[in-house]
Amino acid sequence: MRILLAGHDGYIGTVLAPVLTAAGHTVVGLDAGLFSACPFGYEPPAPPALALDVRDAAAADLAGFDAVVHLANLSNDPLGNLRPGLTDAVNAAASVRLGALARETPASRFVFASSCSLYGAAGQDAVSETAAFHPVTPYGQAKVDAERGLSALASAEFSPVFMRNATVYGVSPRLRFDLVVNNLTAWAVSTGAIRMLSDGTPWRPLVHVQDVATSVLAALEAPREAVHDEAFNVGRAGENYQVRDVARIVGEEVTGCAVTFADGASADARSYRVAFDKVARHLPDWAPRWTVRDGVREVRDALAGLGLTPDLFEGPRYSRIARLEEMLAAGEIGPDLRRRAEALEPA
């Protein structure tokens, strides 16, 4: 299968591209390169790629592909709050536009990286894919709008599938520390302490980046009837956690780490638990391998001896919003977050 991987140079994309290649598929990337200067560890072999903002993709860029995997978006709630209109333009409008372009080509499979954040304030019960949407951030709302727009394009020739990823963690060549498991582990390793500024009661489903990558592969290779116009919560049974429990796991796995919770702190409005029964039924050959405890150990060991400080792991190399703010201040990107034309020469 010849696959266009939009967002190949990001946190998930740099893990996913080698997984697809190892499975025998031909991968071509598409990425604006906003985070190419944010490496962690080794650089994996990069696929041939189009240096292109997903908003600027044209029909010709999708010619000759059997499938599109769409990861490229503004990646979290702080970015959405920074410029809500841009989150809608990139994460929703550009996603639907990319699907419409793919619909006019042989790229019949379209795997969209959605998010469980669209459930938002969902209460205490584990929700299935049929649950109502209650997004509480521009990021979550954009995922709702993208899914609806892409679903409206579904046809006999165009088959979208919506992979609603739990909150991702784990090591990647574009490692991020603005994700809860990675962030708490980094604080523990670098300072010997985790001081929770919230009460830690909200629920989050959590999934390792490697398991996300293999779920995309499974969706691409599954029979069409198993995935056509379907949404799947992507994660593993038993991997819903309250944030305070993640902090306690980190405290147990990082020697000497002290964990404290703020008295009288308010809870985050985003709280949701999800069920993973459907993905297990429709993709029976996909088996997620990682637990949060495994992931904490992986990140802990990857950071050992690096001397990472909070200024570094919360700075532009490892925080997406900090990186974009740095690029804006330096004039490398404009207010619409597009890079200068000279930075977008084909790779």
Residues above pLDDT 70, as percent of the chain:
93
The predicted structure's pLDDT at residue 347: 36
- With beta carbons less than 8 A apart as the criterion, state whether 106 and 140 touch: no
Q: Are 33 and 46 in contact (CB under 8 A)?
A: no
The answer to whether 28 and 2 have CB atoms below 8 angstroms apart is yes
Looking at residue 111, its amino acid is: V
- Among 99-108, 116-125, 259-268, 290-299, whose mean pLDDT is lowest? 259-268
Taking residues 228-237, report their average pLDDT.
96
Tens of pLDDT, residue by residue over 119-149, are 987 667 899 999 999 998 889 999 999 999 9
* pLDDT at position 268: 65
Question: What pLDDT was estimated at residue 342?
Answer: 47
In the prediction, which pLDDT does 208 show?
Answer: 98
Specify which residues 204 forms β-bridges with. Answer: 241
Query: Angle formed by the axes of helices 209-221 and 13-22, to 10°?
Result: 50
By DSSP bridging, strand 193-196 and strand 258-261 are parallel
> Residue 312 is encoded by which pair of tokens?
């570094």
Residue 318 has pLDDT above 80, yes or no: yes
Residue 64: alpha-carbon gap to chain centroid = 26
Q: What is the pLDDT of residue 304?
A: 93
Tokens 């499974």 correspond to 218
* Interval 8-43: pLDDT, tens: 999 999 999 999 999 999 999 999 999 999 999 888
Non-local CB neighbours of 331 within 8 Å, separated by 6+ positions: none
Measured distance CA(78)–CA(15) in Å, rounded: 23
Q: What is the pLDDT of residues 108-117, one digit of tens each?
A: 999 999 999 9
What Rg, from alpha-carbon coordinates, does the chain have? 19
C-alpha to C-alpha distance for 283 and 173, rounded to whole angstroms: 27
For residue 33, give the nearest of 53, 12, 59, 4 by alpha carbon.
53
Q: How far apart, in whole angstroms, are the C-alpha atoms of residue 196 and residue 244?
A: 8
Domain limits of the chain? 2-344
Average pLDDT score over residue span 236-263: 92
Q: What is the pLDDT of residue 78?
A: 67
Instruction: Pick the range with the lowest mean pLDDT from 1-5, 26-30, 310-314.
Output: 310-314
Whether 298 shows a pLDDT value over 80: the answer reads yes
- How far apart CA 327 and CA 319 sit, in angstroms, is 12
The enclosing H or E element of 22 equals helix 13-22
CA dist., res. 266 & res. 143, Å (int): 26
**Model confidence pLDDT, tens digit, residues 274-295:** 999 999 999 999 999 999 999 9
CB 39 within 8 A of CB 174: yes
pLDDT of 272: 87
Residue 77 has pLDDT above 80, yes or no: no
With tokens 């500024």, the residue in question is 197
Name the maximum alpha-carbon separation found in the chain.
58
pLDDT of residue 80: 65
Task: Report residue 186 CA to chain centroid gap.
Answer: 19
Distance CA 210, CA 169 (A): 9
Q: Worst-scoring range by mean pLDDT, 5-19, 43-57, 95-109, 251-265?
A: 251-265
- Helix, strand, coil distribution of the chain in percent, nearest 5: 40, 20, 40
Q: What is the fold, at CATH topology level, of the domain defined by 2-344? A: Rossmann fold (3.40.50)
The mean pLDDT value of the chain amounts to 92
Residue 82 clears pLDDT 90, i.e. is over it: no
Phi, psi torsion values for 273, nearest 5 degrees: -115, 145
| Residue 94 buriedness (CB in 10 A; 0-12 / 13-18 / 19+) | buried
pTM (two decimals): 0.94
Contact by Cβ (8 Å): 232, 34: no
Which single residue is written with the structure tokens 């999800």?
Answer: 274
Q: What is the pLDDT of residue 345?
A: 42
Considering only CA atoms, which of 82, 93, 223 is closest in space to residue 161? 223
